[in-house]
Structure 1
Amino acid sequence: MDNELFEKGIIEQREHNRLQRGRIILKKGNIYLHRDDGNQYELIEYLDENAQVMIRNLHTRKSKIASIYQLENIKINEREDISVDLSTIDEDYWEKALKKYEAIKPLLNAEQYNPNAIKKRAQTVGVSDRTLYRWLQAYNSIGSIAGLVDQKRGWQAGSSRLNKEQDELVSQVINDFYLHKQRPTIEQTIREVQRIASTKKINSPSKRTIRKRILQISENERLRKRGQKEKANNKFTPKPNSFPNADYPLSVIQIDHTPVDLIIVDNKYRKPIGRPHLTLAMDIYSRMITGYYLSLDEPSVTSVAMCIARSILPKEKLLLDHNVKGEWNVFGYPNKIHVDNGADFRSLDLAKSCEAHGIALEFRPVGRPEFGGHIERVIGTFMKEVHNLGGTTFSNIKEKDNYDSEAESIMTLDEFETWLLNFIVNIYHKRTHSSLGISPVQQWSLGVFGDEDHIGCGYPQMPVDEQTVLLDFLPSMRRTIQPNGVTIDGLRYYDVALNMYINDTDEDNKSKKFLFRRDPRNIGRLWFYDPKLKCYFPIPFADQTLPDMSIWEYKQVRSYIKKNNSEKYVHTQQINEALTAMREHVNESAQRTKKARRQAQRQKTHKKSKSIINTKVQNIKDQEPVMKQAKTLNDGLLSNDAEFSFGDVE
């Protein structure tokens, strides 16, 4: 027991990240804490689009100009339970929180300060005025649905899951029975599921689960498949050059991917290595670019996550890193993200992360390309500019004609990203948009600050903690914790933070699985969610001789070992040796093979890749003697680990 308490004390001092999903809501009359002097100020006035405000000291009553990035919320009655990871929230309680959100949604504006509006809404949803006030307060405490989860019982480890038979049954009944022109009710559909389940002698899913699955069907799909196609067309077919409900900045943003029409060169030899991929996010109201992600890898969930995170966060550091002069004062949470039906957008993790941050994720109807017209047009605009760069592939063979793209290629990935930033900030944002009649930056300013004829919506809401945004959007997985650490994709990870949970079991005496998140660009460490301390700890490779690598590079290593080694078991030493051999081979052949050069550039890009967010961690100081004792405690755990078997890469 003493050892356990000792280890817990060590762990609490280690580098970690506690989740904070609060929002900084910049509103006139609100009180904020100034990061630099620690005093409290009232926000008096928005000054301009350069993120400046007038604030007044509550004690001295003196006013001054400050950057919005210097302000933070004053913490009052902070709920500790809202810091848990999204995946640990029980589905039933999450569903209840969503229903509360729908109840207060019409009041999440100036109406929440109108007693008559609250009373009327309370009568409509069938709850007391007091209950509605309480829900509004809980939501506003962090600006997220997470604040509406029941405090005592909602944040539970694990979540309900249907088995394969139940899942197939529910899907079949919904498609064959509910989505029919006879239009059966939800209750009739539930009874049909129960009837068939009884016939097949399988346990029927709960009524709540069936109802939830039905309610997840979009209104557009429900109308069309239940014989109301004309009604669906009238309601959901957009008018040319317009988008439903995109009435103010960040009301709707669209995200899409594209291969860039450009051959880039590697940093070392300046020779062609292929085309990069661009993920782009755009605000429909203003046509401002809100974020992007540029990579040599194929589009993935990671691309979407990085793009959303960059869209939400301020861009000052990004411009400084690339030495781009200009302003890109676009930040904040969008109300809705509109995407196509690609698998990378259909991730369950992505959907739940968006819900937790108060973002609605809406998918483009299949076979209706006009719903994605705005982002596709802006991508087309960008590519036309790219066609003026050396090494362009143009958009088709006819345009390319006899142009040798590889021979004319001149820009590295870093150089192209700098060009891209300059084009976004200093050209595209400032150029008159044909549909708007003014520039995107002018339209954004009009939406935020207003003018004589328009009421501005004010500055968008910012996240309290930037690292939490990234962690919430990274891919997650669950694994058991063994004496030698945790194994993912055949790689073993270990840190003292895992010790308290080694061989832990659940109520049924089964091995307990814990939550981990990982950035595929650098799998040299995991983020482990500690369910007791309610924060994330970085967990490095157990074998510290292994270098950092991307999941893409690791899969190549496994393939290399399989081809060159017939042994049944794979050792971490083999991975290290194979990675070294591959990298040496790439360096030797870089001037001869385009594929090898591309691989080398990917390696450099992933190695230098930094989080787009400033990680907020607590550093350990003067703890060397204590850490040596902790190491002694764990020596026995690793001493017998001479060999390790790797499974297939998932």
Structure 2
Amino acid sequence: MPGIAFCANFDGRDAIWMIRRINGSNVTLADIDNKAVLVKHEADLEECLENKALQFMADDRYNGEIVFQDLPEEYQKETVRRYAYVREFLDSDDQKRSKKKLEKIIKTVAEKIEDDTPPAWNTFNNWLNKYFNAGCRIKGLYPNDPKKGRRDIRVDPRVREIIDQSVKLYFKNSQMLVSTIHQMVEAKVLKHNLSNPDDLLAIPAYSTVDYHIKKRSYQEHVKGRIGKNAARYECANVGEAPETSRILERVEADHTPLDINVLHDETRTLLGRPTLTLLIDHYSRMVMGFQISFEEPSYASAAMAIGNAILPKKDLLEFYGVEGDWPAHGVMEMLVADNGTEFWGDNLDMAISEVGSVLQYAPVRSPNYKGVVERFFLTLRTGLIDSLPGKTNGVGNGSDEYIAQNEAKLTLSEFKKIFLTWLVNIYHLEPHGKAEKSPLDLWNESAREFPVVEEDAKRIETVLLCSDTRTLQRSGIQYENLEYNSDPLRDIYRQEGVVELLIKYSPFDIGHIYVWDKLNRIYIRVPCVNYKYAKGLSMYAHKAIRKRINTARKSYKDNVILQRAKVELFGDLESLHDRNVRKKSQATAKKAARIHSLGVEEFSANTILNDPAPVVIQNMQAEEATDDWEVW
């Protein structure tokens, strides 16, 4: 059975082996000292046991590796008492063990140590046998009280078979109760008794059935009751955490919905629970960057957090008025992410490669592989969010009278400032895990030995924008039913004609895109032809507008209808806020938050582009000045 240890000589090496796994007739063994693993056939182990080449650690003759000092006090006293009799025998002239001699020794020792309950001569003889069988070691005299009694349950074999068959149903995802299993066993036994009145079987007690269930291993219990994946995670060999020796060697990334409800910055209506995307340095435990918004976990939210992680944080701290030192920045050597769909895709692969990092995916259902970032989420929950108004307690926890939505008092911006203050002035200044120094000290020490290069903000922003390919036509580039064109793009058309080009875009602002000029190897910023409509509009809001237009069966080419739909959509959102602010029971407005792109910021406060202000004429076609464009 897994978990049993024994001493044996395999491959010319004496070692203590533990049964790790049993797969049919093959038994996987692990050396508990050097972690060596080998597989033995069940017949080979039985042969070793018969030849006494295998000795179980818990055998009476060996008593495992327990030492005298580790025994309970009453066991120590009993061992000393027994050894007093054995020592007297060892000091005698001859080693013969006759009844007369042993009784004489017992009488002498009992008077000497004032033993009121001396052993019988045959008990004393058993002590001597155990002592010599243990190699003349005192552990042969250890009391074996836990091993007393019958090791098996006195149950008819036929009843035991019924119990074993019924117990299998306990280890199913349906999670039957022990009482239900006992009733099933009782019914089967009664059925046998009714059919065989001359061969009645005793109905086993509830405790007997419970014993057969509990003697199964914990791994079997979790696997059967909860599931294979839970058992794999719960009983897997966690092993040692990946070792890192410097900052930026390994950075872990993950998403989590925050356990707090926040309000709209302007209307103070309830928005709900924002999502946190976070990157943390494995070596120093310093947070590299984050993104808190109502955007669902996606490439866009991941890219914003990565950009925040790579670039300096001075402008961000100044924007929120937070004092403190947050020196984390730079391109990580390896970015470890989970298997969420937001991390799987050509966009992120391309972006990480262009930045100069390597993207590694954690094994499926293995949160321990990203233990540092998972631990941070727990610290954030217990160290900060638990003390804030509007926190959630989880389903089934807390008072029935506590309604988290009605207790929300902080706006999204207020929460961000509190989070930044806690992060910079508390979390980064305290040691975490097994570290003896704070994340700030560890980062600064490593940065002095391995200086970090400051990346260009515009280059990082361009790299982390979403990527796609579109065909350049005479009218420009069409993307999501919007036309993009400019004089530099027309120059490319005159040179290349109809050609497929790489484009970059921000899902939070479709007012412009970037087009890769293969000839000059530069990105050209191309505005939307209908710039007045698209400026500052997110892709999510644009699709919501398109859906409204399609529902109304309007032509998608009618730009006037587009603008009317935009006015109607945002007008409805303001009405929603006005209605909700007057309600006693608040309702979340996460959809409105996504349309407004709440929580989404630039990579850096100084990365602000001066967008052109094109003239919109009756047919909604914008004319750009020929010299008003930007090349990166």
Aligned equivalents of 2:371 and 2:626: distance in 1? 60
Report the CA distance shift for 1:395/1:382 in structure 2 as closer, same or farther (over 3 A).
farther
Aligned equivalents of 2:268 and 2:555: distance in 1? 41
Aligned equivalents of 2:556 and 2:294: distance in 1? 32
Tell me whether 1:375 sits opposite 2:373 in the alignment.
yes
- Give the conservation status (yes or no) of the 8 Å contact 2:252–2:279: yes
- Give the conservation status (yes or no) of the 8 Å contact 1:527–1:538: yes
Aligned equivalents of 1:566 and 1:405: distance in 2? 41
Aligned equivalents of 2:610 and 2:577: distance in 1? 41
Report the counterpart of residue 494 of structure 1 in structure 2. 485
Report the counterpart of residue 537 of structure 2 in structure 1. 549
Q: CA deviation at 1:401?
A: 4.5
Q: CA deviation at 1:269?
A: 2.6
2:558 to 560, 567, 571: 571
Report the counterpart of residue 390 of structure 1 in structure 2. 389
Tell me whether 1:293 sits opposite 2:291 in the alignment.
yes
Aligned equivalents of 1:613 and 1:503: distance in 2? 37
- Give the conservation status (yes or no) of the 8 Å contact 2:299–2:347: no
Report the counterpart of residue 512 of structure 2 in structure 1. 525
1:437-452 paired onto structure 2 within 5 Å: 437-449=436-448
Report the counterpart of residue 610 of structure 1 in structure 2. 602
Aligned equivalents of 2:364 and 2:555: distance in 1? 46
Aligned equivalents of 2:311 and 2:600: distance in 1? 21
Corresponding letter in the other structure for 1:545: K
Gaps of 5+ in 1: 1-232, 450-456, 621-629, 635-650
- Give the conservation status (yes or no) of the 8 Å contact 1:548–1:607: no
Aligned equivalents of 1:429 and 1:533: distance in 2? 44
Report the counterpart of residue 514 of structure 1 in structure 2. 501
Aligned equivalents of 1:364 and 1:554: distance in 2? 34
- Secondary structure in 1 aligned to 2:255? strand
CA RMSD of aligned residues (A): 2.9
| 1:59-114: CA deviation from partner (whole Å, max 9, x where unpaired) | xxxxxxxxxxxxxxxxxxxxxxxxxxxxxxxxxxxxxxxxxxxxxxxxxxxxxxxx
| 1:198-235: CA deviation from partner (whole Å, max 9, x where unpaired) | xxxxxxxxxxxxxxxxxxxxxxxxxxxxxxxxxxx9xx
- Secondary structure in 2 aligned to 1:523? strand
Gaps of 5+ in 2: 1-232, 581-585, 613-622, 628-632
Corresponding letter in the other structure for 1:591: D
Report the CA distance shift for 1:257/1:618 in structure 2 as closer, same or farther (over 3 A).
closer
Whose Rg is larger?
2
Report the counterpart of residue 428 of structure 1 in structure 2. 427
- Give the conservation status (yes or no) of the 8 Å contact 1:476–1:516: yes
Q: CA deviation at 1:617?
A: 7.6
2:311 to 310, 313, 324: 313
TM normalised by structure 2 equals 0.55
Q: CA deviation at 1:524?
A: 1.4
1:561 to 549, 552, 555: 549
Q: CA deviation at 1:591?
A: 2.6
| Higher RCO (CA-CA < 8 Å; seq separation 6+) | 1
Report the counterpart of residue 460 of structure 1 in structure 2. 452
Among the aligned pairs, what percent are the same residue? 26
Report the CA distance shift for 1:617/1:568 in structure 2 as closer, same or farther (over 3 A).
closer
Corresponding letter in the other structure for 1:360: V
Corresponding letter in the other structure for 2:302: V
Aligned equivalents of 1:632 and 1:269: distance in 2? 38
Report the CA distance shift for 1:610/1:253 in structure 2 as closer, same or farther (over 3 A).
closer
Aligned equivalents of 2:474 and 2:374: distance in 1? 51
Q: How many residues align?
A: 376
| 1:447-474: CA deviation from partner (whole Å, max 9, x where unpaired) | 334xxxxxxx3322322x2211121121
Aligned equivalents of 1:344 and 1:273: distance in 2? 23
TM normalised by structure 1 equals 0.54
Report the CA distance shift for 1:632/1:351 in structure 2 as closer, same or farther (over 3 A).
closer
- Give the conservation status (yes or no) of the 8 Å contact 2:538–2:597: no
Tell me whether 1:483 sits opposite 2:482 in the alignment.
no
- Secondary structure in 2 aligned to 1:344? helix
Aligned equivalents of 2:312 and 2:325: distance in 1? 11
Report the CA distance shift for 1:358/1:608 in structure 2 as closer, same or farther (over 3 A).
closer
Report the CA distance shift for 1:544/1:252 in structure 2 as closer, same or farther (over 3 A).
closer
Aligned equivalents of 2:592 and 2:482: distance in 1? 22
Corresponding letter in the other structure for 2:310: I
